[in-house]
Each structure stands twice: as C-alpha cells, then as structure tokens.
Chains A and B, each alone.
Chain A
C-alpha cells in the first residue's frame, strides 16, 4: 500500500515507522526538514519537504498513486484542507485526519471527512482510568 503522511511530528513519524516496518511504501511530508529527525534510523520510505495543502507538493509526494492519505500536522485547518484536497481533487480512496477541536471534527465528519479527535478520545481514556 502506498501511504502519504502529512506532518512529521511525534504521531506522524511514529505512524510512518510502524507502516514502514510492515513493508508499505511511505512518503512523509513536512514543511520543516528538521522534523525528519523523529523518523526511525532505519526508515526506508521517502521524507519530503513540502506543504500538504499545496497541490504541487502533493503530486511530488506521489498522491496520484496513493492508496491512503493521513493528515497529522498541529493545525486542524491545515489537516482539514489537505484532506479535502486529497479526497475530492485527487480521489485518494482512504483519507484520515486529526482534528483537535471536537465540534469541528463533528462538522467535517458530517461533510464526509474521516476525522479523529485526540481531545475527545484521550479525555475519555483518562476518565476511564480515574474511575476504574
């Protein structure tokens, strides 16, 4: 499977590493090359400096052949915009993104984006731990 990941933070780099070990073809995008230090030393995929909200950068990352796209930058709106571009313009079959703001997540879920909110999920997990 070819996967393009936008945002090489802790989550992005970790996900890239996990998929890479399983033999998937990974391209990870970040606007800052310094972020790529987070990738595992034996990472066999491609790390590319570029902006996932820019069509040109996405093409360079091979979005036209991608089976999946994941947007995990720190900006909700950047994730939303990139996901909509890859889903509606490049017709990537599987698009998942992170939206911190639960209300925004709800809205864009209803508009057809597959989005996860770590805020909601993690708060629930913490609550479960405390109450256990």
Chain B
C-alpha cells in the first residue's frame, strides 16, 4: 500500500518507521529542512521537504496513486486542509487526520475527512477505564456503518439484575454480544441469559441509541 504522511514530527516519524517495517511504501512530507535530513538519515529516502497542503508538492509525491493519506502535524487546520486537498484534488480513498482539539472531531467528519484521531480523547478514554464508576466505555467505533462497540458494567442496584435478555427492551440497532463474568468463560448471551450484578457486557449500538442503552442497563 502507498501511504503518504504529512508532518515529520515525532508522530509522523514513528508512524512512518512502523509502516515501513510492515512493508508498506511510504513517503513523509516535512516542512523543516533539518528535520527532513534527520528522517532521511534514519529511514532512507522516504522523506521530502515541502508543504503538505500545496497542490504542487502533493502532485510531485504522486498523491494520485496513494491508497491512504495521513496528516499528523501539530496543527488541526493544516491537517484538515491537506486531507481535503488529497481527497478532492487527488481522490485519495482514505484520509486520516490527527486532531488536538476534541471538538474538531465532528467538524472534520462533516467536512469529509474519513477518520480523525484525537490523542486528547484517547488519553481521556484511558483515564475513564481507570475510573471504576464510569458507566459506559467506548471500545471501538465502526464509523462507516454508524455503529460502535461499548462496554457496560452492571451495578448491583440496576433494575436489569435478575432479568432475562429477552425481557429487556433494547433500543433499535443495539444488541448484546458478549457477557464477561468473574470465574466464568465469556459467553454470548442468549434470550434466556439472566443478567447478574457485576456483569461486564460488550454491546453493539449506535451513537444515537447509546444513552438509552446505558440508562436501560444501569438504571437511572
């Protein structure tokens, strides 16, 4: 796969290095001359100096045949614009932008960026995993399909404790795919499975139904 990376900072450098080791063809576009030299010394001729938002630079590096375009500079607006140029001028099938301000996630999505990665959000999620009282945890987004995989822990006082799965009126588009219990093997719940306190439930849901699902499983 041919992958273009915009920004040769720490993220871009290590990302490029990892992708090279996996056997991909990569190219890093970096604005700074000495940083470009550094990357060339370390990784070989896979880095060119240039502005990753400029059409001329992107033409030079063959963006038209790129399978993936990843913008990881430290500036959200630069990442947005270079991804938009790649998408609309060169029809790159998959564009990925790093964002610092988590609020930009929805904006970028609305403006046509395929995937956004917010390091701030990732760190926040890790913190949330460490907080045992957190009601619902995001595990994975399946963005193209508008689905997400979440984990819900059932508290002892939840009204769902003792109920069978078929007695729950799950919101549309949501279903329970796995129940993890202490000292038991993880099991795929059937209609007859009875919810117990302390169950860790892995569920598939939609962003819209997430709140309803949480309220249902944990009680208000």
Contacts and interface: CB of A to CB of B under 8 A. Distances in A.
Interface in A66-118: 75-78, 80-81, 84-85, 88-89, 101, 103-104, 107-108, 110-111
B81 A76 contact: yes
A5 to B, nearest CB: 18
Interface string B96-116: 000001010001001100000
A78 B78 CA distance: 8
A5 B47 CA distance: 38
Contacts of A88: 110-111
Interface in A33-70: 53-56
A77 B54 contact: no
Given A76-B53, A77-B75, A55 B107 contact: yes
Contact of A104 (B85, B103, B107, B111): B85
A104 B110 contact: no
In this complex, the interface size class of chain B, counting residues with CB under 8 Å from chain A, is: 10 to 19
B77 interface: yes
A53 B107 CA distance: 10
B84 interface: yes
23 contacts: A53-B76, A53-B77, A54-B103, A55-B103, A76-B81, A77-B53, A77-B75, A77-B77, A77-B81, A80-B77, A81-B76, A81-B81, A84-B107, A88-B110, A101-B53, A101-B54, A103-B55, A103-B56, A104-B54, A107-B55, A107-B88, A110-B88, A111-B88
Interface of B: 53-56, 75-78, 80-81, 84-85, 88-89, 101, 103, 107, 110-111
